[in-house]
Amino acid sequence: MSDSQVTIKLTSDEALVLSHWLERLQMTDLSRVVDDPAVWAPIHRIAGTLDKALPELFAPDYDQRLEAARQRLRPED
């Protein structure tokens, strides 16, 4: 199998919400949540890529932006 790369496209809302969730995941004991250590490297890579791509992470109104993105992504009842 070759080492070709995979590209994943996310909306800015999806990226922000996923980044926040991955940050929380990484703050836990990953071995309790992710039972295969081979998955840890891709988790860290995705999180790092999102961190670099999202200037919102450092905005003073980050919490409000995150909540607004969550609201837009949640299915309507």
pTM (2 d.p.) = 0.84
Give 65's contacts (C-beta < 8 A, 6+ positions apart).
16, 56, 59
pLDDT given at position 46:
95
Ranges of each domain in the chain: 12-73
pLDDT given at position 8:
93
Q: Which two tokens stand for residue 52?
A: 């670099």
pLDDT given at position 62:
94
Q: What is the pLDDT along the chain (77 residues), one digit of tens a residue?
A: 567 999 999 999 999 999 999 999 888 887 788 888 899 899 999 999 999 999 888 899 999 999 999 999 999 87
Give 14's contacts (C-beta < 8 A, 6+ positions apart).
69, 73
